[in-house]
Copies of this chain bind each other. A is one copy, B any other.
């Protein structure tokens, strides 16, 4: 019998904290009987969670860890790193580092999570900085994009590392040998973009382990033609949040249109449910649960603004990443290929 996945959850992170995380965890435990949860939160939150775990089969799969310190979202990551080692976020990551959990999930500050990840879990061999990656919805299938916000300023070498990490992750996720890797840029021609992005393109194109297919423009990201899209964390976060904003605007515009006149109300009668389901399929905001790659363990980053359903998606992502053994496969591939710096011909 397969062992249960153990997921450590920082119950205090995110804009809404325990009122959201508790409900999401209970629904998650209820839906998946093969998972165990370590709930990490304030004494009060732990009490609320324990009280809510009324069903014995759920209670048997939930453990609580109380802590008195919380990461403050408006605090600089360097400050949190120094003063918040006893926080719910740090504790969740520590459980992964000590082998007591297979993955951790937090909706807390991305920069702080990154700093704790670097400090507590450590980067994989040959990796300077980990990246946040996620599967973006496209017309045909999902596309793996990284970095989506962990590294705001990247060197060409870091973008090269992300390309390698992205390719290895896509290999594991999509079960393909040689995934296509692209670099996000504002044009397709080799002369387009900053010096840094052109230098990164040069480095990646000379790495024989990567099936580099050139630049990709943001308007092509959603066609589903690339397995992997590499970008710096600032651009990636801009693209991700823009896509969410446009999808929301369009969904809202449709809602307004439904009430416009009798024709559209009649159309809506047949159509509203399909529109709503389509919006859930294509709106990147519904695909919550980005994960860090490049660390010695699995960390899942939920949106800070996630509601119950959305935080639940992050928990499901954690279970999938653990179940699909992505991390172990990625690590062993990385070790087989050798350190990135020594493999590149640049």
Contact = CB atoms under 8 A, between A and B. Distances in A.
A335 interface: no
A184 interface: yes
Interface in A219-268: 219-223, 233-235, 237-250, 252-254, 257, 260, 263-264, 266-268
A152 B184 CA distance: 14
B253 A264 contact: no
Contacts of A241: 186, 217-219
Contact of A220 (B75, B139, B238, B245): B245
A139 B249 contact: yes
Contacts of A217: 241
| Most chain B CB atoms below 10 A, which of A193, A242, A267 | A242
Contacts of A222: 245-246, 248-249
A99 B117 CA distance: 61
Interface in A160-181: none
Given A219-B248, A222-B245, A264 B254 contact: no
B74 A191 contact: yes
Contact of A270 (B194, B243, B264, B281): B264
Interface in A177-210: 184, 186, 189-191, 193-194
A247 B250 contact: yes
Given A149-B186, A221-B245, A278 B266 contact: no
A274 B194 CA distance: 41
Interface residues of A, number: 58
A32 B52 CA distance: 69
Contacts of A278: 250, 253-254, 257
Contacts of A149: 186
A321 interface: no
A153 interface: yes
Contact of A239 (B233, B242, B248, B281): B242
A277 to B, nearest CB: 9
Contact of A267 (B138, B193, B242, B274): B274
A73 interface: yes
B267 A139 contact: no
Given A74-B189, A235-B235, A218 B194 contact: no
Contacts of A235: 234-235, 238
A282 interface: yes
5 contacts: A74-B189, A76-B191, A186-B237, A217-B241, A218-B239
Interface of A: 73-76, 138-139, 149, 152-153, 184, 186, 189-191, 193-194, 217-223, 233-235, 237-250, 252-254, 257, 260, 263-264, 266-271, 274, 278, 281-282, 285
